[in-house]
Amino acid sequence: MINEMNGILKGFTVTQIGFIVKDIDLAAEKFSKLTGMEVAARSDTADSDTGAWKYRGRPLGGGMRNLAFRFGNVEVEYIQPYPGDNAWNEYLETHGEGIHHIAFEVKDLHRVACELEKAGYQRVQEGEFEGGRFAYFDTVEDIKTSLELLEFDD
């Protein structure tokens, strides 16, 4: 599939590297000690926050806890999934803890997502949040991690 991409993401910026973990507090504490950065504020995304989000075309099951450390223009995000049907638990069950995604900030997420789908990549999860939207794609076979598209309203 990667041969069909032809620079779909050319010109967009990598904005995040996301990790799936079983214990977000422990992971954040260890990362904080390693980097000397304070532990970032954690947010809890409950089912009520993800009501319109989709996982493999169906309503998302379960939310997540997350936090991010910022290094210039790139975030290191930690996600601890709640039980339920979602991309985070799928990754944890299939691969264990580790790098879940690389996120690119894009303009016109819909257009870029359609190009990725035409290239053969399946949209795994998507949703809107205050100030923007996201979509995860299954690119693990080709680039060894998932790809996230992020679009912000501003």
Quote the pLDDT of residue 46: 66
C-alpha closest to that of 47 among 82, 19, 88, 90: 82
Quote the pLDDT of residue 112: 97
Superfamily of domain 2-152: 2,3-Dihydroxybiphenyl 1,2-Dioxygenase, domain 1 (3.10.180.10)
Query: What residues does 29 pair with on adjacent strands?
Result: none
Among positive and negative, which fits the CA dihedral 57, 63, 65, 70? Answer: positive
C-alpha closest to that of 101 among 41, 145, 154: 145
- pLDDT, one tens digit per residue, over 130-145 is 899 999 999 999 999 9
CA 145 to chain centre: 10
Cβ neighbours of 22 (radius 10 Å) = 11
User: How far does the chain reach from its first CA to its final CA, in angstroms?
Assistant: 32
What is the residue-wise DSSP string for 120-151?
TPPEEEEEEETTEEEEEE--HHHHSSEEEEEE
Residues of the chain below pLDDT 50: none
pTM higher than the cut 0.75: yes
Among positive and negative, which fits the CA dihedral 116, 118, 121, 127? Answer: positive
- pLDDT, one tens digit per residue, over 12-32 is 999 999 999 999 999 999 999
